[in-house]
Amino acid sequence: MLDWKWVRENKDRVKEALQKRNMDENFLEELFGIDENRRALQKEVDELKSRKNQLSKNVGMWKKEGKDIQSLLEEIEDISEKIETLDEKLKEAEKIWEEKLLFLPNIPHHTVPVGKSEEDNPEIRRWGTPRQFDFSPRAHFEIGEELGILDFERGAKIASSRFTVLKRAGALLERALINFMLDLHTREHHYTEVFTPFLVNTRTMTGTGQLPKFYDDLYHCQDDLHLIPTAEVPVTNLHAGEILSEEDLPLYYVAYSACFRREAGSYGKDVRGLIRQHQFNKVELVKFAHPERSYEELETLVHDAERVLQLLGLPYRVVALCTADLGFSAAKTYDIEVWIPSQGRYREISSCSNFEDFQARRANIRFRTAGGKIAYVHTLNGSGLAVGRTLVAILENYQEKDGTVVIPEALRPYMHGLDRIIPSIEVR
């Protein structure tokens, strides 16, 4: 969340930021109205309590002087009743204000390009050249079904649409990608691997900004637990409520997790295949950084994610998200988009973001400077990478005319030496 004192002192800047995000500026006015009501109630309660304290002192003085204190006692009782009534109103106003404040998005960094939609996201760089096929490349779902490694029908049967069963070399490829990514980030990029729960509580979801705003996008369980949409949620909250040491920063974590998203409002988009699933695997990179160096850390985070695609030989590009396309909690985001031959375009495979202290304030993650000052850390995360979409890119970019799929050399040690996926003769 944002520092409300800073928001009040920079109302025009916040208003401008919301306009650049294509967000209704009336929300901010509503928030200020609730705050004014809350502050007015607080002032009235404080004045009444001050009056009550003075009257209580007078009771003792009047007793010593032999004066009748009945009128004082009656006024004190009357004030006490008013305070009790106003306290209830104040609690309700505080609750409404705190809930509304959680819907106020982060302020875009000054380097974020201004735009009205994803069409305004500028390209930063490209790597690799899309392959020129001497045949018409097929979509990954056609390839996967022909090879007998993707079973969409049975996935829907045992769960619902947008769930898939991976079989044989498909399951092996998924596992190989996970292990390859984890090994790369721990050995070459020096991240600490963690394996966290796939279920987290409401406090944890709120800490990273998924709740309350994105309630409809999540799967909710009993006992105040929710299925995670990304490992960002549990990993960022590892240090919730803690005060870290300045010399410990930056902290790097990498985690594999299954991810669960209802994809509310996305019906009709990528209905077929693995691009938009309700359950998918991802390897996530999370950083806790010193505020003065967080944007340097963002650049290295992007390069760490890019390295996966480079080793796999998959063409991609990096774009900077404009203000209107920026995520709710992010101050700045780069998307990495991999080339998908069947669609003839690049598709997102990783988002790398700097949240500055937005999440740290919500989760109360701080650090102590060498001088003893307490400050909020900056949090960052990015996919390193989305495993299902990487599998999609491999199937499509490495497909052959005879229906087989070549395994990228970097993955072969993880594929039991398999260098090519061939159609299965097993009955499907």
Q: Which residues pair with 345 in a beta bridge?
A: 340
Neighbours of 393 (CB within 10 A): 24
Locus of tokens 């982060």: 106
Angstrom distance (rounded) from CA 341 to CA 359: 37
Q: Among residues 75, 348, 412, 420, which one is catalytic?
A: 348
Q: What is the DSSP letter of 356?
A: T
**Does residue 276 carry a catalytic annotation?**
yes
Alpha carbons 417 and 200: distance in angstroms, whole number: 38
Q: Which of 262, 276, 307, 317 is catalytic?
A: 276
State the greatest distance between any 2 C-alpha atoms of the chain, in Å, as a whole number: 108
CB distance 236 to 359 below 8 Å: yes
Single out the residue of 229, 222, 305 nearest to residue 263, CA to CA: 229
Cite the DSSP H helix spans in 66-108.
70-101
Question: 193 with 311: CB under 8 angstroms?
Answer: no
Residue whose pair of structure tokens reads 């996935």 in the numeric block: 155
Q: Of these residues, 342, 351, 353, 383, which one is catalytic?
A: 351
Q: Residue 286: what residue type?
A: V
317 is catalytic: no
Catalytic annotation present for 368: no
Sign of CA dihedral 406, 409, 410, 411: positive
| Closest of 367, 359, 5 to residue 206, by C-alpha | 359
Catalytic-residue membership of 80? no
* Known catalytic membership, residue 299: no
Three-point CA angle 419, 420, 424, nearest 5°: 135
Options 38, 162, 362, 389, the catalytic residue: 389
CA distance 366 to 315: 39
DSSP letters, 362-407, are HHT-EEE-TTS-EEE-EEEEEEEEEHHHHHHHHHHHTB-TTS-EEP
Angstrom distance (rounded) from CA 363 to CA 373: 19
Q: How do beta strands 243-245 and 366-368 pair?
A: parallel
| CA distance linking residue 104 with residue 1, whole number of Å | 7
Length of the chain: 428
Q: Bridge partners of 283? A: 256
Question: Which residues are known to be catalytic?
Answer: 261, 276, 348, 351, 389
